[in-house]
Amino acid sequence: MAVVIGDVPLTRHEVVQVARFDAPVELSAGALERIDAARAIIDGLAADTRPHYGISTGFGALANTSIAPGDRTRLQQSLIRSHAASSGEAVEREVVRGLMLLRLQTLATGRTGIRRATAELYAAMLNAGITPVVGEYGSLGCSGDLAPLSHVALAAMGEGTVVVGASGELDGEMVDAATALERAGLTPVVLAEKEGLALVNGTDGMLAMLCLALADLDKLLDTADLTAAMSVEGLLGTDAPFAADLMALRPHPGQATSAAQIAALLADSPIVASHKVPEDTRVQDAYSLRCAPQVHGTARDTAAHAARVAEIELASAIDNPVVLPDGRVVSNGNFHGAPIAAVLDFLAIAIADVASMSERRSDRFLDPARSFGLPPFLAHDPGVDSGLMIAQYTQAGIVSELKRLAVPASVDSIPSSAMQEDHVSMGWGAARKLRRAIDGLGRVLAIELMTAARGIELRDAPAGPRTGRVIEHLRRLVPGIGPDRFLARDIEASVAFTVGGGALIAARLLDRVESWSTDAPFETASAHEGDR
């Protein structure tokens, strides 16, 4: 079913479906009417003798330069060509599709002055799987994501490079834009007055990455609860701190959700029951076990705040100048990325904290002084075998990087455009580092899951019903305890199982397989569909 653009704001789910899974799109009749109405206003102003920014003037610091009517098409083309200035590795296909979709949604509001044919071309490019190649560097997050959006507009003009390929393909065919449009039966656009600005003045790239990140975190935070529960079980911890009446004493909603989930995962565990005896003299568990709901819940509440910001942005019309219903075309500052940049940074901080606690739980399994009877490093033959010693090193290296990635990008600003744009958000940079942070969190949790599974199997009592299913399914990909073997292969298999959705399905925390990380091996995740 096509995602209809223009009647109501897009949802975060719809953004993910189009960006990641190639859902088709179509412009509503109402959107086309609004586009035509706004364009009529621009056409009227184009004939006016007074200067109008972006219509009959230059851009940015050149806003006071008047442009003759015969040069205005060249002005729009020059804007796109000069602003398509990104550099570095190509950003992910889903990010580019997401920013294309969100720019199209703003065009559909009828506040940009775009022509109908230009908006329809963007929809057609999305449906044809034509994805412009955008370099990682080039956006300062103000005036929006100029360079990334300019590469998209350049492709619509039949210039630049694109990748043509279906969802899930890691290496589509790279061709020049003119060839791709011709193959798809599409005609390149010749931009008219105001259209260049309308296509590049938006926060669409950073918003797309925020929507994708929230979809990933929705599942990764459930995964963190799962791995924490397995660690509590394997380290002979107690489920008492997760009681609902204790959570009610500090009623943060995310904390309550994580505590309830951890408690449910530990329910009916013979291991947990085995040490609820008078002989067990421990008063309380370490913080990394006992305080998991507080840390995971903080991340949940941070994600909830970021989701509210995303929903406001999805209901916004961002352009400069903007076309108002009364016919005015007014310059504004809505393109500034500060609202998105701040929550992107906030999420990176929360991710670093969740991953840091996960690594600490894993480390407890490996230390016989703290593991309550487990062999050193969970090794088969300690001394001859090193067990999971170096898996913790891998975790530690990732967590250290996550702490660096948690340093906010949004507190930085480097003036641009001859000091006309003298304060920028750096939101694109915040979004890029968040994507790396999400990948790191998934890997840290996968190593904890692998470690906890081995620790649980070394106990005298069996695992609980839900954690036991997780271990059973994991063992189809990762062997249990035994002599040392090629550990990197086990780690990657655990990452595929964990990030690909297999662990959540086995624990009954996810109803269906959905590979939400672009780096997850899709085929490994889908192998668990028969285990629902």
Residue 393 falls in the annotated catalytic set = no
The pLDDT of residue 516: 47
User: Where are the strands (E) in 213-349, listed by range?
Assistant: 322-323, 329-330
Least confident of 129-138, 239-248, 521-530: 521-530
Q: Does residue 429 contact residue 133 with C-beta atoms inside 8 Å?
A: no
Band of pLDDT at residue 154, cut at 50, 70 and 90: very high
For residue 517, pLDDT over 60 is answered with: no
Band of pLDDT at residue 170, cut at 50, 70 and 90: very low
What is the spatial distance between Cα 407 and Cα 521, in angstroms, rounded to a whole number? 29
What is the spatial distance between Cα 184 and Cα 261, in angstroms, rounded to a whole number? 48
For residue 49, pLDDT over 80 is answered with: no
Band of pLDDT at residue 459, cut at 50, 70 and 90: very high
Q: Does residue 57 contact residue 320 with C-beta atoms inside 8 Å?
A: no
DSSP summary character for residue 68:
-
Catalytic residue among 53, 122, 137, 287: 53
The pLDDT of residue 7: 93
Using one digit for the tens of pLDDT, what is the confidence trace for 331-367?
898 899 999 999 999 999 999 999 999 999 999 999 9
Determine the average pLDDT of the residues in 92-107: 97
pTM for this predicted structure: 0.93
Band of pLDDT at residue 51, cut at 50, 70 and 90: confident
- For domain 211-446, give the fold: Fumarase C; Chain A, domain 2 (1.20.200)
Q: How far is CA 120 from CA 28, 63, 73, 366, in A?
A: 11, 29, 19, 58
Four-residue CA torsion sign, 512, 516, 518, 519: negative
Determine the average pLDDT of the residues in 318-336: 91
My answer on whether omega of the bond before 416 falls inside 30° of 0, hence cis, is no
For residue 520, pLDDT over 90 is answered with: no
Determine the average pLDDT of the residues in 502-512: 86
Task: Tell me, rounded to whole angstroms, the distance of Cα 250 from its chain centroid.
Answer: 30
Band of pLDDT at residue 171, cut at 50, 70 and 90: low
For residue 495, pLDDT over 60 is answered with: yes
Residue 323's CB: how many other CB atoms inside 10 A? 27
Using one digit for the tens of pLDDT, what is the confidence trace for 290-309?
999 999 999 999 999 999 99
What is the spatial distance between Cα 38 and Cα 394, in angstroms, rounded to a whole number? 55
Average pLDDT, whole number, for the chain? 91
The pLDDT of residue 522: 29
What are the residue ranges of CATH 1.20.200.10 in the chain? 211-446
For residue 107, pLDDT over 60 is answered with: yes
Q: What are phi and psi of 376, to 5 degrees?
A: -55, 130
Q: Does residue 35 contact residue 13 with C-beta atoms inside 8 Å?
A: no
- For domain 3-202, give the fold: Fumarase C; Chain B, domain 1 (1.10.275)
The pLDDT of residue 426: 86
Q: How far is CA 58 from CA 149, 416, 483, in A?
A: 19, 16, 70
Determine the average pLDDT of the residues in 415-421: 80
Band of pLDDT at residue 246, cut at 50, 70 and 90: very high
What is the spatial distance between Cα 484 and Cα 481, in angstroms, rounded to a whole number? 9
- Side-chain half-sphere exposure of 289, counting CA atoms within 13 A: 25
What is the spatial distance between Cα 249 and Cα 237, in angstroms, rounded to a whole number? 22
Helix (H) or strand (E) holding 428: helix 427-457
Proportion of the chain above pLDDT 70, given as a percent: 92
The pLDDT of residue 512: 56
Amino acid at 208: A
What are the residue ranges of CATH 1.10.275.10 in the chain? 3-202
Residue 404's CB: how many other CB atoms inside 10 A? 11
Residue 24's CB: how many other CB atoms inside 10 A? 12
